[in-house]
Structures are given as structure tokens and as C-alpha cells.
Amino acid sequence: MIEAGIPLLQCLNILTQQTESKKLREILKAVIMDIENGKSLSEAFRIHQRYLPGIFIDMLTAGEVSGTLDQAMDRLANQFEKDHELKEKIKSAMTYPLVIGAFAFLAMVILLVVVVPVFVEIFEQVGAELPLPTRIMLGVSKACTNFWFLILPAPLLLYFGLKSFAATDRGRVITDRLLLKLPVYGKLTQKTITARFARTLATLLKSGVPLMQSLETVENVVGNTQVTKIIKAARENIKEGENMSPILLNASFFPPMAVNMIAIGEESGALDALLEKVAIYYEQEVETLVAKLSSVIEPLMIAGVGIMVGFIAVSIYLPLFGLSGAMQGGTGLN
């Protein structure tokens, strides 16, 4: 709308009418009132910064100062669209295995609580000697039957418990550290953060936001406390007149190729352009890794369900085969 020459207040009024978010509508109405009272656009939005991404405020400020507000907003839109697209691809890849796992868990509980007890009564009436797999299954079945009200909500309780723990300062530090050490997910997290770091920093620098201020904003969007510490150390190095690439290299978090590209960008003065190339490369890497991960998880989940069902079937039929053999033997003697 700004590119089309529509006045700023009219743009904000149109957005207020179109947005479906109640909170955003309230913010926009307050921003319009503040602008009418003489505040700049960035000052009006900064009042509500706890509800908005840090990069949004910084880009608005840079766009106003340089007179390129439309370009700054366009870069912001691209930034948020890229972030959203990447998150959605990761979510969609993880959704199928999670749904399969949930249904498999529910099916196992139903089998153990409803089906297995029927065979337990038969075994008890006959007084057959039960093999080890059957005894294990019967023990699990009794536990599920007696404590089903605890077992069914257990995954949800575990999820919300971990989420609450991760919301604390100490919990977040521990969670962030553990996530980076996970065999496959750790590599995915590393590449996702690298892409986000490069994309956000490139967007800010292209909009004219100073490097130190850009790095401060990036600290709040990388989403990992371990990486935040590295970026803080890089800022301190820049304060002392040094480059940030040596700190990134010594931290051993960012991939060597990304750090080398950043080092070249610092030396050549084309840091924003090279960061954008790094972002594109690692966004593609994340997409490839997510696709591979999804293709590996699906057969593993199916195999896992098959093993569990197979174990229950074998546990039930082993005693039946024993009983059948005993009955045939008894008939032969008669």
C-alpha cells in the first residue's frame, strides 16, 4: 500500500479493518492514535514491542531514517514468509509420525486392556504353564487394566511437564543443550538456526540497521540460549575492533562453510549478500534433511507397531499351541 502511494494512516486503518487478530487490531488502533499525536511509526510500535518481533521494530526504524519504509516492509514480509515456510515444512514432516505413534499407543492400550484379559481367563481356568513372553504380556496387561487412568494421559502430562520445565530459565538452557546433542534432530536444529541467523542478519543489514544493533536483534530470534551466548561473544569482539568470524569459528556451532562465507563477507564488505547465500543454502539443507528424516521415521514407526502387535500375538498363541499339544497327546493315550 505504501508503494502504491496510499498515506500511512490510511494504510493502518485498512489493516485494522482487515486483520482477524483481535490483539493486532488493538495494537494498530493504539498506533494510529499515537501517530496522530505526533509519534513516528517506529516509536508508536515500540510501545507494544513485547507483542512484536524485535526485527520488526528495528527494520521500521531503519526504514524511516533512510526513507525506504516500503522496502523495509517488503524485506520483513519476505523474512517472515521464509521463517513460516521453514517451520511449516518441519511441522508437516513430523506430524505423520506423531499421529501414527499416538494411534499405535492407543491401539496397544486397547489390546492390552480389552482383548488380552479374555485370554487371561482361559489360561487361568485351564491352569496352563505360561511361557516367559506370555507372562511379560500378562504383567503389562494387568498394569494397563489397573492403572489405565494414569497411562492414557501420561504422554500429555509428560509433554506439558517438559514444556513447563523448558519455559524456566534453567530448563531452557538444559533443553537447548540437549536438543543440540540429539543424533539427528541436533543436526537439523543446527542447520535451522544457521539459516535463521543468516537470513535475519542479512535482512537487517540490507535495510541499513548497524551491525551491532542487528546482532543484538538476532540474539532474540535464534531460539537457542547456547547460540545466543556465541552471538554475544561475537558482539564483544566487534566492540574491540575485531571481526565476528573468529568467535563463530572457535564456538564450533556454525558449520565451517557458513563461517568462511561470513569471514569473506567481512573482508570484502559484502556481508549482507553472502549471508543471504548462506541462508538460501542452509534452508535447502533443512528441507532435504527433513524429507530424509520423514522417510526414515515412517518405516521405523510401522516396523515398531508390527513388532508390538507381533509380540502380543505370539504371547497369546504360544500357550494355546501348548494346550493343543497336550490335548492331542491325552487323546492319543486314551
Dihedral in degrees, nearest 10, Cα atoms 178, 251, 280, 66: 120
pLDDT at position 333 is 45
pLDDT at position 275 is 92
Question: Is the CA virtual torsion 312, 315, 316, 317 positive or negative?
Answer: positive
Query: What is the maximum span of the chain, computed from C-alpha positions, in angstroms?
Result: 107
CATH topology classification for 75-334: Receptor-associated Protein (1.20.81)
Domain positions in the chain: 8-52, 75-334
Instruction: Read off the C-alpha cell for 175.
Output: 533443553
Which parts of the chain sit beneath pLDDT 50? 331-334
Distance between CA atoms of 13 and 113, rounded to whole angstroms? 59
pLDDT digits (tens, 9 = 90+) for 121-169: 777 676 667 778 878 888 888 887 787 777 778 878 888 888 888 888 8
pLDDT at position 128 is 64
34 close to 47: Cβ distance less than 8 angstroms: yes
User: What is the reported pTM?
Assistant: 0.72
Half-sphere exposure of 6 (CA within 13 A, CB side): 10
Question: Is the CA virtual torsion 91, 183, 254, 211 positive or negative?
Answer: positive
141 close to 117: Cβ distance less than 8 angstroms: yes
Backbone φ and ψ for 187, nearest 5 degrees, come out as -65, -40
Distance between CA atoms of 168 and 163, rounded to whole angstroms? 9
